[in-house]
Amino acid sequence: MIRRWFDDSRLEADDLADEESLWWLASAGARIRRAALSEPAGRLTRADRPRGVLVLGAEARLVRAVLEPACPVPFMAWPGPALPAWVGPLDLVVALGSHDAPAWEVRGLAEAVRRGATVIAAAPDESALAAASAGPLTTHLPTPPDDPMAAAIAVLALLGQLELGPAVDVELTASAADAVAVRCSPARPLGDNPGKDLAVGLADSFPLVWGGTTLAGRASRRIAETLRRASGRVALAADAEELEAVLLGTPQRDVFTDPFEQDAEIGPALLLLDVDQVPEPMTETARRLTRLADGVGVRVCHISSGMAELGASDVERYVTLLLQGRYAATYLGIGLGGAKSR
């Protein structure tokens, strides 16, 4: 893989704050508040406990990661393309989508309505998903058109109110997003900006991303997607065993290689998420990955959701990890002079 030239002076440009992608990241907290505080249109109550819960669409696996340990009824994140045969009048179907929701999700939601299932549709007004969900047993939750994370948090908050999952404090979650926006603001310089610092750390590499908890693992996959879009390079989020195989196959770094040669190949960098929060069995896994990376001269970078004693919820930690990764990806794209990403 041939390296594109990274210029960190672009991260200190006077007009950096005008970048649309950075504005979008900075308003994540506002979108979370708007989505979660929108008044649902429907009659769903705590008494309407379903036989099972099925979630469709973007960030369905995030909803599963939060709800599955606490949901009092069977829960499934469904990848499509057709609705399971067992879904019927005793079940709750939740759909998360945007204006460009895939056709299979729209068809699946319409089929759930036809079968008499209770439906929660977290989708923008006047979207195909909202139209397909129309029915007497539907609760429509208006959400921003371009932020699946905000829609998922709104759904989690609603399901928590219905006692189908843990309570989600929307204001604390939005405040966590605001805190990342402050720390990663384009006005903050290198050395005092975790987003810019991580972008520099990944500038001459392709990332191998690992999270040792369920939600950190989910965030690792979203961060890798964003890094790929921003840099045009490989970015792999995977289980530890798969990343170990990559590291074991990485040749020892030659310290005499000129890193500024235009045709110099780039190698991997290891990006670890929230290793200070992983349970004890996974702590050794993080150490093993670090030892393997150090052994072949692979740089190790970290993203942390904060100190454990702060008592942040799992959803707050997820938002903190994901947004830091997205800021880093955006700054990486800017430094490379190419793609910018959200």
**DSSP letter string, 47-83:** T---S-EEEEETTHHHHHHHHTTT-SS-EEEE--SS-
CATH fold of the domain at 29-169: Rossmann fold (3.40.50)
Query: What pLDDT, on a 0 to 100 scale, did the predictor assign at position 310?
Result: 53
CATH fold of the domain at 8-19+186-335: Rossmann fold (3.40.50)
Using DSSP, state whether 39 is helix, strand or coil.
coil
Strands 300-303 and 236-237: unpaired
Please choose, from the candidates 184, 146, 200, the residue with its C-alpha nearest in 3D space to the C-alpha of residue 332: 200
Sheet with 205-211, strands from edge to edge, namely 236-237, 205-211, 267-273, 300-303
pTM: predicted TM-score of the whole model, two decimal places:
0.91
CA distance 162 to 124: 22
Task: Assess contact for 116 and 128: CB atoms under 8 A.
Answer: no
Query: What pLDDT, on a 0 to 100 scale, did the predictor assign at position 132?
Result: 94
Query: What pLDDT, on a 0 to 100 scale, did the predictor assign at position 309?
Result: 46
The residues spanned by each domain of the chain are 8-19+186-335, 29-169
Supply 120's token pair: 């929660």
Task: Assess contact for 109 and 129: CB atoms under 8 A.
Answer: yes
Cα distances from 276 to residues 5, 41, 211, 279, 286, in angstroms, run 33, 41, 11, 9, 10
CA distance 185 to 17: 8
Please choose, from the candidates 134, 144, 112, the residue with its C-alpha nearest in 3D space to the C-alpha of residue 41: 134
CB atoms within 10 A of CB 192: 10
Supply 257's token pair: 């290689």
Query: What pLDDT, on a 0 to 100 scale, did the predictor assign at position 311?
Result: 61
Query: What pLDDT, on a 0 to 100 scale, did the predictor assign at position 146?
Result: 84
Domains 8-19+186-335 and 29-169 share a fold: yes
Supply 91's token pair: 């079940």
Which pLDDT tens digits describe the chain residue by residue (342 residues)? 445 688 999 999 988 988 999 999 999 999 999 998 887 777 676 667 899 999 999 899 999 999 988 999 999 999 888 899 999 999 999 999 888 889 999 999 999 999 999 999 999 988 999 999 999 999 999 998 889 899 999 999 999 999 999 999 999 999 999 999 999 999 999 999 999 999 999 998 999 999 989 899 999 999 999 999 999 999 999 999 999 999 999 987 766 565 555 555 788 999 999 998 888 888 999 999 999 999 999 999 999 998 554 568 899 999 999 999 999 999 999 999 865 555
DSSP single-letter state for residue 157: H
Please list the alpha-helical segments (H only) found in 138-193: 148-161, 170-183
Please choose, from the candidates 194, 175, 189, 190, the residue with its C-alpha nearest in 3D space to the C-alpha of residue 327: 194
Phi-psi region of 2 (alpha: psi -120 to 50; beta: other; left: phi over 0): beta
